């Protein structure tokens, strides 16, 4: 697996090793998928749910493209400080805003979820949405609110990537999304942790 991260680092022109936390970091193959998409499609506005190694990868893509900006929703203050420092260390701070988004109660179809507070998120038209948070242990179907809450901000040609999609919760989340938002199509990628790609 470390070799795969090294390949990713080389492909994206990083001059140092990416900070990888075994428990929290996205798998290298998922990072390859989203970076390939960014370099090919050159999205202007990228929003990610959950910060970390993926933040550096997405920001590096914006730097290589000389186009685009990342807005990262993060509820953990310790992760905010850590990721901001990493962005500074990698000279990528100009390409990303880490937004403090504490979890608050969101009611969707009479179900209560703990999901990100979007008070710091500016009015955007999102071209790429990467969902890798909140953590699944917080509640069942933890990542379900992403599409209902952000749908009105998604650009017409927005693409959505959902990580950890091999899990039963994520499989059910996508079934619900497709039922409630039939304008979307979903494709499953059978990588290390599973990935769904949704597009209109």
Question: pLDDT, tens digit, for every residue of 175-193?
Answer: 999 999 999 999 999 998 9
**Can you tell me which residue has the tokens 């390939």?**
36
**DSSP H/E element including 161:** strand 154-163
pLDDT of residue 75: 95
Question: Which residue ranges make up each domain of the chain?
Answer: 2-199
For residues 17 and 5, give the distance between their C-alpha atoms in angstroms, rounded to a whole number.
Answer: 8
pLDDT tens-digit readout, 93-141: 999 999 999 999 999 989 999 999 999 999 999 999 999 999 999 999 9
For residues 153 and 119, give the distance between their C-alpha atoms in angstroms, rounded to a whole number.
Answer: 14
Sequence-separated (6 or more) residues with CB below 8 Å from residue 147: 160, 177, 181, 184, 198
Chain-centroid distance of CA 89 in Å reads 21
pLDDT of residue 3: 59
Residue 121 tokens, joined: 């998120």
The arrangement of secondary structure in 2-199, i.e. its CATH architecture, is 3-Layer(aba) Sandwich (3.40)
Q: How far is residue 111 from each of residues 39, 105, 115, 136, 141, measured CA to CA in Å?
A: 38, 10, 12, 16, 11
pLDDT tens-digit readout, 60-90: 999 999 999 999 999 999 999 999 999 999 9
Report pTM: 0.96
For residues 78 and 59, give the distance between their C-alpha atoms in angstroms, rounded to a whole number.
Answer: 20
Residue 17 tokens, joined: 């090793």
> In which band, very low, low, confident or very high, does the pLDDT at 2 lie, cut at 50, 70 and 90?
low
Give the mean model confidence (pLDDT) for residues 147-162: 97
Nearest residue to 73 (alpha-carbon basis) of 52, 91, 56: 52
- 8 A C-beta contact, residue 44 and residue 157: no
pLDDT tens-digit readout, 22-49: 777 899 999 999 999 999 999 999 999 9
What residues does 115 pair with on adjacent strands? 104
For residues 107 and 103, give the distance between their C-alpha atoms in angstroms, rounded to a whole number.
Answer: 13
The pLDDT of residue 168 is above 60: yes
């Amino acid at each position: 697996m470390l070799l795969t991260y090294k390949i990713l680092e080389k492909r994206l022109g990083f001059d140092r090793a990416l900070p990888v936390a075994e428990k929290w970091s996205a798998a290298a193959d998922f990072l390859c998928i989203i970076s390939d998409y960014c370099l090919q499609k050159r999205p202007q506005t990228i929003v990610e749910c959950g910060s970390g190694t993926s933040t550096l990868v997405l920001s590096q893509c914006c730097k290589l493209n000389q186009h685009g900006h990342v807005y990262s929703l993060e509820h953990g203050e310790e992760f905010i400080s850590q990721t901001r420092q990493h962005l500074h260390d990698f000279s990528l701070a100009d390409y990303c805003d880490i937004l403090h988004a504490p979890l608050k109660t969101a009611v969707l179809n009479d179900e209560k979820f703990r999901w990100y507070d979007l008070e710091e998120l500016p009015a955007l038209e999102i071209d790429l949405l990467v969902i890798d948070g909140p953590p699944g242990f917080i509640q069942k179907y933890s990542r379900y609110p992403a599409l209902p809450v952000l749908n009105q901000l998604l650009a017409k040609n927005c693409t959505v990537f959902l990580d950890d999609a091999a899990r039963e919760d994520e499989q059910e989340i996508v079934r619900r999304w497709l039922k409630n938002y039939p304008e979307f199509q979903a494709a499953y990628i059978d990588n290390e942790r599973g990935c769904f790609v949704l597009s209109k």
